[in-house]
Amino acid sequence: MNNLETITTHFCLTGQVESIQPLGNGLINDTYRITTTGDNPDYVLQRINHHIFQNVELLQSNIEAVTAHIRQKLTDAGETDIERKVLKFIPTPEGKTYWYDGESYWRVSVFIPNAKTYETVNPEFSYYAGKAFGNFQAMLADIETPLGETIPDFHNMEFRLQQLREAVAANASGRLSEVQDLVDELEKRAQVMCQAEQLYREGKLPKRICHCDTKVNNMMFDEDGNVLCVIDLDTVMPSFIFSDFGDFLRTAANTGDEDDKDLSRVGFNMDIFKAFTKGYLESAKSFLLPIEIELLPYAVALFPYMQTVRFLADYINGDTYYKTQYPEHNKVRSYAQFTLLKSVEEHTKAMQDYIWSI
């Protein structure tokens, strides 16, 4: 029995494990698919990155509360196919949803059958995705269990800028001079980009339970393009609704890749924006405040901005946070995200006009 197989014996799985293969391309956790024999479900095995998610107990209790709440909502609504619409975590014999092997934390969930994730989506799928994320926030609007911040200040722009400034001051990797131009560009926009924190302090902007990692590949679709469910729930926590709106468009409305070396491929796709916004507002307008709707174009700029700040800080720190495939990877990511930001900025007026028109 190999290492990974041994780990699976600490969870109450049904069926015999046939094989365990790497799955997906997340930048934080390590993910595997467990294939089992016969009619038994397959599973997803994950090593939780506990350097990043330092409080695994809190992390898992958030996820348990969220999935139980959504499951109840779906049941109450008479929903069919619940097993494909909300994640299910497998307990250990002690009744915990994670297991610590002395070095790493592991968890197992049921693999959702006949479902797909995508790295890019067309406008039709974006519309469904918008409805699904609006619905996800709506379903969690009345959750009673208080959720903790699994990564404190995760989408706090002031905090992310402070991290960048600390990275710049320390220049641990000696790489600062290569990227000084980009640091300057980011500083020029700092105050505008921190407006959400300012409005929050003034009591004008609320926090709600959000997903906080709405990359397009964190959503499962069925064969017909219907959204089944949202996955990757590690970062579900109180945040501004901008997190979910902005991060989806950062990934889905980019005409290039997140880490594109060819910057001419990178740009903001208004058709994806329109379709997603239409779907999102249909399911979220019941609870959104006017100020939240008004600031949606800001949210679209905020996420490429924040991601540039985060990738760049990691590059200057010498690649201590994100998985990288080559030495310049975080730098390439930073310039690609910044290029996206500039394209978003050119579309501010068009985004505002569209939001008023619907």
User: Interface residues with ligand GN1 (CB under 6 A)?
Assistant: 26-28, 52, 213, 215, 232, 235, 258, 307
Residue in this structure with the two tokens 């934390």, named with its chain if needed: 105
Residue type, 209: I
Burial of 190 per CB tally in 10 Å (0-12, 13-18, 19+): middle
C-alpha–C-alpha distance, residues 321 and 303, integer Å: 18
- Cα–Cα nearest to 344, from 155, 192, 121: 192
C-alpha–C-alpha distance, residues 210 and 208, integer Å: 6
Smallest distance, Å, CB 194 to Mg ion? 26
Cβ(47)–Cβ(20) below 8 Å: no
Distance in angstroms between the alpha carbons of the first and the last residue of the chain: 58
Q: Smaller CB distance to ligand GN1: residue 92 or 255?
A: 255
* 91 lies in the binding site for Mg ion (CB under 5 A): no
| DSSP E strand stretches across the chain | 17-22, 30-36, 43-48, 99-100, 105-110, 208-210, 219-221, 227-230, 237-239
256 interacts with, out of Mg ion, ligand GN1, none, CB within 5 to 8 A per kind: none
Q: What token pair was written down for 180?
A: 């000084």
Q: Smaller CB distance to ligand GN1: residue 73 or 154?
A: 154
Cβ(330)–Cβ(338) below 8 Å: no
Choices 5-13, 49-57, 74-82, 215-223; region in contact with Mg ion by CB under 5 A: 215-223
Q: Smaller CB distance to ligand GN1: residue 17 or 249?
A: 249
- The residue length of the chain stands at 358
Residue 36's alpha-carbon distances to 11, 68, 82, 108, 317, in angstroms, are: 14, 25, 21, 13, 42
Q: Which of 15, 26, 148, 206 binds Mg ion (CB under 5 A)?
A: 26
Choices 24-32, 42-50, 194-202, 245-253; region in contact with Mg ion by CB under 5 A: 24-32
Smallest distance, Å, CB 62 to Mg ion? 16
C-alpha–C-alpha distance, residues 94 and 222, integer Å: 34
Smallest distance, Å, CB 271 to ligand GN1? 22
* 330 lies in the binding site for Mg ion (CB under 5 A): no
292 interacts with, out of Mg ion, ligand GN1, none, CB within 5 to 8 A per kind: none
Q: Smaller CB distance to ligand GN1: residue 40 or 255?
A: 255
Q: Which of 89, 220, 232, 245 binds Mg ion (CB under 5 A)?
A: 232
C-alpha–C-alpha distance, residues 268 and 274, integer Å: 11
Smallest distance, Å, CB 52 to ligand GN1? 6
Smallest distance, Å, CB 52 to Mg ion? 13
C-alpha–C-alpha distance, residues 344 and 337, integer Å: 10
- Give 36's strand partners: 17
Burial of 118 per CB tally in 10 Å (0-12, 13-18, 19+): middle
* 218 lies in the binding site for Mg ion (CB under 5 A): yes
Q: Smaller CB distance to Mg ion: residue 67 or 343?
A: 67
Q: Smaller CB distance to Mg ion: residue 307 or 343?
A: 307
Smallest distance, Å, CB 307 to ligand GN1? 6
Choices 22-30, 123-131, 264-272, 342-350; region in contact with Mg ion by CB under 5 A: 22-30
Q: Smaller CB distance to ligand GN1: residue 13 or 229?
A: 229
Choices 48-56, 110-118, 137-145, 224-232; region in contact with Mg ion by CB under 5 A: 224-232
319 interacts with, out of Mg ion, ligand GN1, none, CB within 5 to 8 A per kind: none
Pairing of strands 105-110, 43-48: antiparallel
Q: Smaller CB distance to ligand GN1: residue 43 or 53?
A: 53
Q: Which residues bind Mg ion (CB under 5 A)?
A: 26, 218, 232
